[in-house]
Amino acid sequence: MNCKIIACASLLLAVGCENSAKENQAKADQAQREADQNAARVEQQAAEKRAQAQREADEKAAQANAEARKDIAEGQTKANVDIREANQDIIKARADFHVRTQKSVNDLDHKIDSMKTDAQKATAKAQADFVSAMRDVDTKRAALDTDLRSMDTQPIGQFDSVKAKVNKEIDDLKKSIDVAHEKL
């Protein structure tokens, strides 16, 4: 009978240990499930925070790009206005120069015509010297005419160089006219 009691006690102990092991395993499994759920929840929250941060960064980048495009457009508009104004100023300066130059050329042509009239009253030697001097005047006058005609077709950026050239040609023509006038 002692043996039977010992066997029953061993069996109860074994069943109790087995239940305890099963309970421990169940607790461990439950703890693992809770840890997995907690890790998944934390990972989900982190993913949501990353997504929110990315959305905010994208919005800021889009806003910065929109502001930059706006600033560029405003800058381009201002540059276009400045270019138009500068072009208008150059066109006005070109027109004013053309009027002044034409007046100066008309005055020089009048002086040439007057000298030709005076030459008819001069001596033969004076007339010959005058005709010789007038060749230089005619050459310079023709060059001036060519440049005056091409002045309107020159690019706006070359106006200053064309203006300087025309002014020099007018000065040279005046000197040649003075030389021719001295021959009379």
pLDDT digits (tens, 9 = 90+) for 64-103: 999 999 999 999 999 999 999 988 998 898 899 999 999 9
* 3-state SS class at 18: helix
Among 12-21, 78-87, 126-135, 161-170, the range scoring the smallest mean pLDDT is 12-21
pTM of the model: 0.59
The rounded distance, in Å, linking the Cα atoms of 75 and 71 is 6
Asked if the model's pLDDT at residue 2 lies above 60, the reply is no
Query: Own/partner pairs for 64-71, CB < 8 Å, 24+ apart?
Result: none
Q: How confident is the model at residue 155 (pLDDT cuts 50, 70, 90)?
A: confident
